[in-house]
A and B are shown apart, each in its own frame.
Chain A
Amino acid sequence: MSAPAKLEVLVAPADSLDSGIRESLEDEVVRLFDQLRERLLRYIVAIGLTIPDGEEVIQETFLSLFKHLQSGRSRDNLQGWLFRVAHNLALKRCQRARRSSELLASAAAGTYAAIDPSPSPEDQFANSQAQQRLLAVIQALPEQDRRCLFLRAEGLRYREIAAVLDISLGAVSLSLSRSLTRMARAAQG
């Protein structure tokens, strides 16, 4: 009977230490979720995921963050890390959906404008012509340009965007200026 007692004594301190660390890591992950969930979700929905798929990607992203922090890896720029992981998971999910022919309406259209496929007549009326033109310009942008634009809209700096999309800093500034120039042209009619 003495062996189990000894085992208990040996295990208890290690467990309590781990549970303390674990609890604070869980708190940290939930805190970051509170801060960034909306921005991350808006981005991945904008690049083509449905909201339920987007929510699932966000869950996976923060579970990965927990494992990342638990294994003691780098804490540098966790915001950039989260956007990169969410972006990659979202792309994988889009590709899977395409492969299995379950094309998501928004992914197929490649734009966030497809979220609300049937706006009410009042909404349609409210949308000014200029906004319709702008929407058309955004829909017609190359995929990478749209991603740059949506990441910038979520407050990422150029270096962070370059890291998320794995492109050069110059490519980010060119992409953004190209998109905004097209929008400016559309605004002038």
Chain B
Amino acid sequence: MLSQDSHVADELLLMELEGELSPRVAKSVRTHIEACWRCRARRQELERSIADFIHLHQRELDGQLPPAAGPRAMLKARLAQLPVSAPERPWQWFVGWGRLVRVAAVSVSVLLAIGWIVNRAGAWKRSASPERLVSTPDSTLTPGATVLASRRDVCSQANIKNRDVPASTQLLVFEEYGIERAPRRAYEVDYLVTPALGGSDDIRNLWPQPYSSVWNARVKDALEDRLREMVCSGTLDLAQAQHEIASNWIEAYKRYFHTDHPLAEHR
């Protein structure tokens, strides 16, 4: 998986050291390290940093912590003072409380049921268009990240072609999204906020975008070009463009191209 020409990124070296990689990726990294002196030395440096840090950490803190006996006795006394309350059993409060509470409970149940039905209806609607679910990144893993760049910086870039994402970073992204083996060929690791709009190389700005989806990378490129034109012509604020693309690029496309589906020339 890793060629001998490229070196393993520090994150990946560390994750291998820490046992945080899947067996397959770990094996690939180890095979590279065996053949690469530079990566092996780097790995040892990271290991040495861990050892140095932990020695310092222990020296700074261990002697300062008071013994546990006093706080332990205090906790036991405070636990004993806590009022008795049985585990929450739904039927108990339903039976024990007054009529008013029962009426309120029934109302809440009805509201919850309606809420559930509405929610399910939304979910069914969403599941009818699965490409939408995979075409936008998981916002907790890929919230989007930008570099400090002004409108002038962005608009003066001569080459707006995206830089290739290094193989080791791609592995990290796949790892983070739990995408294993074969299906990886079906994805391109793409920038959420394109560097042409000030997006950064940070992993928080990268996600595996499927090739096959209706809302694919080409459609997103068209949106990026449109937003960049607007930013550089002064009709859209750079921060606003970055926010729109990071929060939901499909919605942004629909808004800026006035359509619910990708236009034929963008597919």
User: Which A residues have a C-beta under 8 Å from some C-beta of B?
Assistant: 18-19, 21-22, 26, 29-30, 33-34, 37-38, 41-42, 45-46, 51, 55, 58-59, 62-63, 66-67, 70-72, 112-113, 115-116, 130-131, 134-135, 138, 149-150, 153, 157-158, 168-171, 173-174, 176-178, 180-181, 183-184, 187
Task: Determine whether B259 belongs to the interface, using a CB cutoff of 8 Å to chain A.
Answer: no
Query: What residues of B have a CB within 8 angstroms of the CB of A67 in the complex?
Result: 82
| Cα–Cα, bound, A116→B15 (Å) | 33
Interface residues of B in 173-191 (CB under 8 A from A): 173, 176
- The answer to whether A174 and B11 touch across the interface, beta carbons within 8 angstroms, is yes
Tell me if B53 and A138 are in contact (CB < 8 A): yes
Most buried by B among A55, A59, A130, A184: A184
Q: With a CB–CB cut-off of 8 A, which chain B residues contact A19?
A: 84
Q: Tell which of B57, B74, B172 touches A59, judged by Cβ atoms closer than 8 Å.
A: B74
B111 in the interface (beta carbon within 8 A): no
> A10–B20 Cα gap in the complex (Å)?
56
Interchain CB contact under 8 A, A187 and B49 = yes
When distances are taken between beta carbons in the complex, the residues of chain A under 8 Å from B46 are 177, 180-181, 184
A residues in contact with B164, CB < 8 Å: none
Complex partner residue of B141 from A112, A168, A177, CB under 8 angstroms: A168
- Residues A168 and B65 in contact in the complex (CB < 8 Å), given A59-B74, A116-B60: no
Q: How far apart are B169's CB and chain A's nearest CB, in angstroms?
A: 10
Question: Known: A51-B65, A177-B10. Is A168-B71 also a contact (CB below 8 A)?
Answer: no
List residues of chain A with CB within 8 A of the CB of B80: 26
Q: Are B64 and A173 in contact (CB under 8 A)?
A: no
Can you list 25 A-B contacts (CB < 8 A)?
A18-B86, A22-B84, A45-B65, A51-B65, A55-B66, A55-B71, A59-B74, A63-B78, A63-B79, A112-B57, A115-B61, A134-B53, A138-B56, A149-B53, A150-B57, A168-B176, A170-B176, A173-B11, A173-B15, A174-B203, A177-B13, A183-B49, A183-B53, A184-B46, A184-B49
- Asked if B153 CB lies within 8 Å of chain A CBs, one says no
Let me know if A59 and B11 touch, CB within 8 A: no
Q: What is the interface size of chain B, counting residues whose CB is below 8 A from a CB of the partner? A: 49
> CA separation between A168 and B144, bound complex, in Å?
12
Tell which of A51, A71, A157 touches B20, judged by Cβ atoms closer than 8 Å: A157
Across the interface, name the chain B residue whose C-beta is closest to A113: B60
Chain A residues closer than 8 Å to B203, beta-carbon distance: 170-171, 174
Interface of A, helix, strand, loop or mixed by DSSP: helix
Q: Please name all residues of chain A whose beta carbon is closer than 8 Å to the beta carbon of B204 when the two chains form the complex.
A: 168, 170-171
Residue pair B68, A51 in contact (C-beta under 8 Å): no
Are A45 and B53 in contact (CB-based, < 8 A)?
A: no
In the complex, chain A residues whose CB is within 8 Å of the CB of B15:
158, 173
From 45 to 103 in chain B, residues with beta carbon under 8 angstroms from any chain A beta carbon are: 45-46, 48-50, 52-54, 56-57, 60-62, 64-66, 68, 71-72, 74-76, 78-80, 82, 84-88
* A132 to B: closest C-beta gap in Å: 10
Contact A168 B140, CB 8 Å, known A29-B79, A63-B82: yes
Inter-chain contacts of A26 with B (CB < 8 A):
76, 79-80
Q: How far, in angstroms, from A116 to B172 measured CA to CA in the complex?
A: 40
Q: Is B202 an interface residue (CB 8 A)?
A: yes
Chain B min CB distance to A189 (Å): 13
Q: How far is the CA of A184 from the CA of B45 in the complex (A)?
A: 6
Checking B14, B18, B48 against A187 with a beta-carbon cut-off of 8 angstroms, the contacting residue is: B48
Please pick, from A30, A51, A59, the residue contacting B64 in the complex, using a CB distance under 8 A: A51
Closest to B70 in A: A55
- Closest CB in chain A relative to B60 CB, distance in Å: 5
Q: Which of B48, B66, B78, B79 counts the most A-chain CB atoms under 10 A from its CB?
A: B79
Taking the nearest CB of chain B, how far is it from the CB of A78, in angstroms?
16
The CA-CA distance from A72 to B54 in the complex, in Å, is 37
Restricting to B128-151, which residues have a CB under 8 Å from any CB of A? 140-143
- In contact, A34 and B14 (Cβ under 8 angstroms): no
Which of A21, A116, A153 is in CB contact (< 8 Å) with B53?
A: A153
In whole angstroms, how far apart are the Cα atoms of A112 and B61 in the complex? 8
Q: Are B57 and A183 in contact (CB under 8 A)?
A: no
Contacts of B84 in A (CB 8 A): 18-19, 22
- In the complex, are the beta carbons of A176 and B14 less than 8 A apart? yes
